[in-house]
């Protein structure tokens, strides 16, 4: 199988609700046969919020991939591969109501086929 590598630059954004929480579900490869290799995750938003990154759509602690209690410009080096159909989800707690929180994913995305030049 031939794959073409592209830069992965995805962002998940949530507006914090009145109870201090926010979530984004189903972030992952969109094309059949596509895979992502995430090497850097960055969180940004007002100070004091906690961000948990989970495999799948469950917020069960056993599914946690990464966590930061400094969701205000914190960065993690990571090594996460998502195959087509796999997703990650983001859960913010202790946020300020109305504020926008962001988690950026960087790395490589691989798409089946050869890139046309």
**52-73: pLDDT as tens digits:** 999 999 888 899 999 988 878 8
Classify 108 as helix, strand or coil. Answer: strand
d(CA 17, CA 101): 11
d(CA 52, CA 69): 9
- Domains in the chain: boundaries: 3-112
End-to-end CA distance of the chain: 19
CATH topology of domain 3-112: Jelly Rolls (2.60.120)
pTM, full prediction: 0.88
How remote is the C-alpha of 67 from its chain's centroid? 11
How does residue 117 score in pLDDT terms, banded at 50, 70 and 90? Answer: low
Kindly report the length of the chain. Answer: 117
List the 100-112 sheet strands across, edge first.
3-15, 100-112, 35-44, 74-82
How does residue 47 score in pLDDT terms, banded at 50, 70 and 90? Answer: confident
């Amino acid at each position: 199988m031939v794959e073409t590598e592209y830069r992965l630059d995805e962002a998940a954004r949530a507006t914090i609700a009145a109870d201090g929480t926010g979530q984004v579900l189903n972030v992952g490869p969109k094309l059949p046969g596509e895979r992502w290799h995430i090497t850097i995750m960055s969180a940004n938003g007002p100070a004091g919020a906690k961000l948990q990154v989970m495999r799948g759509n469950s917020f069960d602690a056993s599914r946690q991939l990464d966590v930061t209690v400094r969701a205000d410009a914190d960065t993690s080096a990571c090594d996460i591969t998502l195959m087509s159909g796999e997703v990650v989800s983001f859960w913010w707690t202790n946020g300020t109501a109305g504020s926008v929180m962001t988690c950026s994913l960087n790395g490589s995305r691989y798409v089946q086929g050869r890139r046309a030049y």
